[in-house]
Amino acid sequence: MKQLRKAIRVCALILAVMVLVPMVYGAYSLLRYGTRWRTSEYNVYFTSMKNSVIPGNIYDRNGVLLAATDPQSGKRVYAGDENVRRSLAHAVGDSRGTVKNAVESFMAEYLYGANMTFWERMKQFSGGALRGDDVKLTLDSGLSAYIASIFPEGKNGAVVVMNYRTGELYAQSSFPNFDPAAGGGVTVSQALNRATRWLSAPGSTFKIVTLTSALQNLADIENRAFNCTGGLSFGEHQRTVTDYGGTAHGSLNLRKAFTQSCNSTFAVLAAELGDKNLRRTAASYGIGDDFTFRDLVVENSAFATSASPLLGADLAWTGAGQHQLALTPLHMCMIAAAVANDGVMMEPRLLLEATSATGIRRASFEPLVYRTALSPALAQTVKSYMREVVTAGTGTRAAIRGLSICGKTGTAEIDTQDKDNAWFVGFIDSDDLPIALCVVVQNAGTGGSVAAPIARDIFQYVSGR
């Protein structure tokens, strides 16, 4: 009898665990992935709700109307200025769902009133059709339109501008763009949000990560002398890591190597660090994370597309910003922003506030720390290196008199293109203007000659200079 009671207790415990584990996992998943589930096209309840609710309006941070529903036709209409419409097409989206996970779809739980109480529904229903919540975004339509006006015509690429203290996204621009108010088809290239979904090796902008790892792991590295002859061979097959244009930088220290963006030196650093140390530092910057941000979907970055440790020339090229690296422009902006923010990486945010049709504030902005990427002291050191890039290195075309601009250029070689991808990441080192950005122009040339001047113009715009 005693054995029977024991067996029953064991069975009861097993059954309890079998019930509790799915419940706990379900609660965890709803908390972590709730927005993605609620706005999924496979959510039948949410799809039916869309057919019975007038979606709320979308505004930019300054109250500029970006999207609304025409009361006569019942169709979704967008900003009156075509430049504004096109510049925000990838962030806001359209009624056809051309861009996956844009605000029109990803914030549908607010726009279609999923958070309305029973009494709110009754009150609205008595007066006619239900209306969803209005959404105000962190985006600046004026800045977005300006970026679109200065981006090289006919080129693909992206620009991200964010507040590195709060994580507010002021611009999230992708090129080529499209007009959400126009009829006709949109190409695959136009529909792709390159700011958040396009993955690529970021060229020498990744040297921020390699520099951080070297300062963390290699003793007395700032006092070391290096010699650049324009290229070095690595590994069993003696594959060569070359400097841009075969430039031989000669004798230089770590600071000068970063300022002049010397591939050979950073290849040597990667070889000395080894896969484990460099990969660990990359992970501290969020590379390899499963991004589940609250306001937007961002493709996960990768240190390497292969699972095995990197060796020889593969590791050396990774240290210089090439090989199997895959990062989005938004993530590279976050990396620069973490350096600017004393090592603290903020979660990128798009939602400023959501307000119901009856004036109830449904949600309001809250800065969220994503992770600590590096210590404050180390961030100050890396920041000083990035400052010198703009004052005396490859990024001088991003400089603005009277502003402390810090940055890093990148020139990513892509085998299928005629020209390289031009990158620039940087920030204004200022408590009054805590602005970080990433600029990428595909198939365009060097970061210093193409991307840095665009960054300068954006910094001038936001600073009013």
Q: Is 188 exposed, middle or buried (0-12, 13-18, 19+ CB in 10 A)?
A: exposed
Name the CATH superfamily housing domain 203-349+367-463: DD-peptidase/beta-lactamase superfamily (3.40.710.10)
Q: What is the pLDDT of residue 458?
A: 98
Q: H or E element: which one contains 452?
A: helix 452-463
Q: How many residues does the chain have?
A: 465
Q: Give strand pairing partners of 425.
A: 408, 438
Instruction: Taking residues 407-423, report their average pLDDT.
Output: 95
pLDDT one-digit tens code per residue, 333-367? 999 999 999 999 999 999 999 999 888 999 999 99
DSSP conformation class of 192: -
What is the rounded radius of gyration, in angstroms, for the C-alpha atoms of the chain? 25
HSE-up of 257 (CA within 13 Å, CB side)? 31
**From CA 405, how far away is CA 140, in angstroms rounded?**
21
Q: What is the pLDDT of residue 30?
A: 45
Q: Give strand pairing partners of 354.
A: 135, 363
- Contact (Cβ atoms closer than 8 angstroms) between residue 170 and residue 163: yes
Q: Which two tokens stand for residue 64?
A: 């500029």
CB atoms within 10 A of CB 312: 16
User: Model pTM?
Assistant: 0.90
Q: What is the pLDDT of residue 130?
A: 86
* Position 52 pLDDT exceeds 80: no
Confidence of residue 116 (pLDDT cuts 50, 70, 90): confident
Q: What is the pLDDT of residue 26?
A: 45
Q: What is the pLDDT of residue 9?
A: 64
Q: What is the pLDDT of residue 27?
A: 45
Q: What is the pLDDT of residue 24?
A: 43
Q: What is the pLDDT of residue 25?
A: 42
End-to-end Cα distance, the chain: 87
The full set of domain ranges for the chain reads 203-349+367-463
Confidence of residue 45 (pLDDT cuts 50, 70, 90): low
Who contacts 449 (Cβ-Cβ below 8 Å, separation ≥6)?
397, 422
Mean pLDDT score of the chain? 90
- Contact (Cβ atoms closer than 8 angstroms) between residue 60 and residue 137: yes
* Position 240 pLDDT exceeds 70: yes
pLDDT one-digit tens code per residue, 435-449? 999 999 999 999 999
Q: Which two tokens stand for residue 412?
A: 């990513």
Distances (CA, A) of 284 to 297, 303, 370: 20, 12, 11
User: Which of 186, 384, 374 lies closest to 281, judged by CA?
Assistant: 374
Alpha helix ranges (H) inside 39-164: 44-50, 82-87, 89-92, 103-106, 108-111, 118-126, 141-150
pLDDT one-digit tens code per residue, 91-109? 999 988 999 999 999 999 9
Peptide bond into 55 cis (omega under 30): no
pLDDT one-digit tens code per residue, 139-157? 999 999 999 999 999 999 9
Between 117 and 328, the higher pLDDT residue: 328
Sign of CA dihedral 58, 62, 63, 67: negative
Instruction: Taking residues 112-120, report their average pLDDT.
Output: 81
**From CA 443, how far away is CA 135, in angstroms rounded?**
36
Lowest mean pLDDT among 177-191, 252-266, 383-397, 447-461: 177-191
**From CA 29, how far away is CA 44, in angstroms rounded?**
19
pLDDT one-digit tens code per residue, 391-404? 999 999 999 999 99
Q: Which two tokens stand for residue 183?
A: 């009829």
224: helix, coil or strand? coil
Please give the angle made by the CA atoms of 269, 257 and 398, to the nearest 5 degrees: 125
